[in-house]
Structure 1
Amino acid sequence: MISKERQASALQRFVEANPQLLEEIAGLSAQEQHQQIEWAFEDAAQEQGLEPWELTLQLIAGSEDELKAMRLEVHREVAQALGMSWEEYCGFNEIDDSAL
């Protein structure tokens, strides 16, 4: 699972990379701005064929190795939360853990 700190960091980096977004939503309340940023982030992930959590990790990872480690960590947490063995989870989701 992605921590709120990691999500906030990814959203900040997303906004920094898309300054026009802030211009477009400048007249909205802080809450509405945050919601619009989250929606734009989700749309950007979808356009790239990613889940939002995957885009989050891409934006905050310092290297490809760190990205792989964080991706593996998230998958392991999900497997544990679902009460599945790692092998069962990988099989069910067609995951090759060496490729993460």
Structure 2
Amino acid sequence: MANRNSKTSRTTGQATHAARCVGQGQWIVSFLPGRTLSSDQAHAALAVADELDTLRSISTSLGLTVLELVGLAMMDCSEQRAFAHPTAVQVPWVGQER
């Protein structure tokens, strides 16, 4: 997660977001104003911030925004419904037997 990791502050790999300890085991994160988090929660929040660069790259290559990509990926897409269209082609995933 962090380039800098101490008992009082943490930053993302890109150093665009940061977390700071405000005492008694509570942390604040730069992009979650008004919330106090545990150390584990602050770590998780900064991990998400680090992953956004990857999601931005992927979504751009697909012609989508990050929100569209995540929203579509979260939709229930059972195999029966996904391949119900007569021209749909099922491509095996890596590691799947053909």
Length-normalised TM-score, structure 2: 0.31
Structure holding more strand per residue: 2
Which one scores higher on RCO, CA 8 angstroms, separation ≥ 6?
Answer: 1
Structure holding more helix per residue: 1
Greater gyration radius: 2
Length-normalised TM-score, structure 1: 0.30
